[in-house]
Amino acid sequence: MWLATVLHQPAGPVPAIHVAHLNRKLFPVSLRNIETFRFGVGNRLSKFKVSAAKKKLSPLRTRKTESDKLAVREDSGEGYDVGWLPSFPHVLISSMSNFLFGYHIGVLNGPIVSIARELGFEGNPILEGLVVSIFIVGAFVGSICSGSIVDKLGCRRTFQIDTIPLILGALISAQAHSLDEVILGRFLVGLGIGVNTVLVPIYISEIAPTKYRGSLGSLCQIGTCLGIIASLFLGIPSENDPHWWRVMLYIASVPGFVLALGMQFAVDSPRWLCKVGRLNDAKAVIQNLWGESEVERAIEDFQSVIKDDGSDLDSRWSELLQEPHARAAFIGGALFILQQFAGINGILYFSSLTFRDVGITSSASASVLVGITNFAGSLCALYLIDRQGRQKLLIGSYLGMAVSMLLVVCAITSPLDEQVSHNSSILGTVLYIFSFAVGAGPVTGLIIPEISSNRTRGKIMGFSFSVHWVCNFLVGLFFLELVEKFGVAPVYASFGGVSLLAAVFATYFVVETKGRSLEEIEMSLNPNVSTREK
Residues making up the chain, counted from first to last: 534
Q: Sign of the CA dihedral 208, 397, 371, 251?
A: positive
Residue 358, pLDDT above cutoff 60? no
Q: For residues 2 and 221, is the Cβ–Cβ distance under 8 A?
A: yes
**How many C-beta atoms lie closer than 10 Å to residue 36's C-beta?**
7
Higher pLDDT, 133 or 389: 389
Report H helices in 294-440: 295-303, 325-341, 344-357, 363-388, 390-413, 418-435
371-386 per-position pLDDT tens digit: 889 999 999 999 999 9
Residue 447, C-beta contacts closer than 8 angstroms, at least 6 positions apart: 335, 390, 394, 510, 513
Report H helices in 154-218: 155-174, 179-207, 213-217
Q: How far apart are CA 414 and CA 408, in angstroms?
A: 10
Average pLDDT over residues 38-54: 39
pLDDT-derived band at 526, boundaries 50, 70, 90 = confident
**b/e string for 426-444 if b means 16 or more Cβ within 10 A?**
bebbbbbbbbbbbbbbbbb
Q: How far apart are CA 224 and CA 330, in angstroms?
A: 26
Distance of CA 154 to the CA centre of its chain: 18
Average pLDDT over residues 182-188: 95
Q: How far apart are CA 62 and CA 516, in angstroms?
A: 7
Q: How far apart are CA 11 and CA 19, in angstroms?
A: 33
Q: What is the mean pLDDT of the chain?
A: 81
Q: How far apart are CA 478 and CA 460, in angstroms?
A: 27
Q: For residues 201 and 368, is the Cβ–Cβ distance under 8 A?
A: no
- Residue 352 has a pLDDT of 64
Q: What one-character-per-residue DSSP string does 90-148 give?
A: HHHHHTHHHHHHHHHHHTTTTTHHHHHHHHT-TT-HHHHHHHHHHHHHHHHHHHHHHHH
Does pTM top 0.75 for this prediction?
Answer: yes
Higher pLDDT, 512 or 79: 512
235-246 per-position pLDDT tens digit: 888 878 888 999
For the chain, what is the radius of gyration of the CA atoms? 23
Residue 133, pLDDT above cutoff 90? no
- Residue 40 has a pLDDT of 46
Lowest mean pLDDT of 54-63, 431-440, 450-459, name the range.
54-63
- Residue 74 has a pLDDT of 46
Q: How far apart are CA 9 and CA 283, in angstroms?
A: 46
Q: Which amino acid is at 126?
A: I
DSSP designation for 178: S
- Residue 205 has a pLDDT of 95
pLDDT-derived band at 29, boundaries 50, 70, 90 = very low
Residue 35, pLDDT above cutoff 60? no
Average pLDDT over residues 504-515: 94
What phi and psi, each to the nearest 5 degrees, are found at residue 402?
A: -65, -45
Lowest mean pLDDT of 191-195, 208-212, 346-350, name the range.
346-350
pLDDT-derived band at 22, boundaries 50, 70, 90 = very low
- Residue 10 has a pLDDT of 41
pLDDT-derived band at 533, boundaries 50, 70, 90 = very low
- Residue 242 has a pLDDT of 86
Average pLDDT over residues 45-52: 36
Residue 109, pLDDT above cutoff 80? no
Cis peptide before 237 (omega within 30 of 0): no
- Residue 458 has a pLDDT of 93
Residue 470, pLDDT above cutoff 50? yes
Residue 116, C-beta contacts closer than 8 angstroms, at least 6 positions apart: 122, 123, 124, 127, 128, 131
Q: How far apart are CA 455 and CA 257, in angstroms?
A: 31
Residue 87, pLDDT above cutoff 50? yes
Cα distance from N-terminal residue to C-terminal residue, the chain: 37
Residue 42, pLDDT above cutoff 70? no
How many percent of the chain have pLDDT more than 70?
78
Map 508-529 to HEC letters.
Answer: HHCCCCCCCCHHHHHHHHCCCC
**How many C-beta atoms lie closer than 10 Å to residue 53's C-beta?**
21
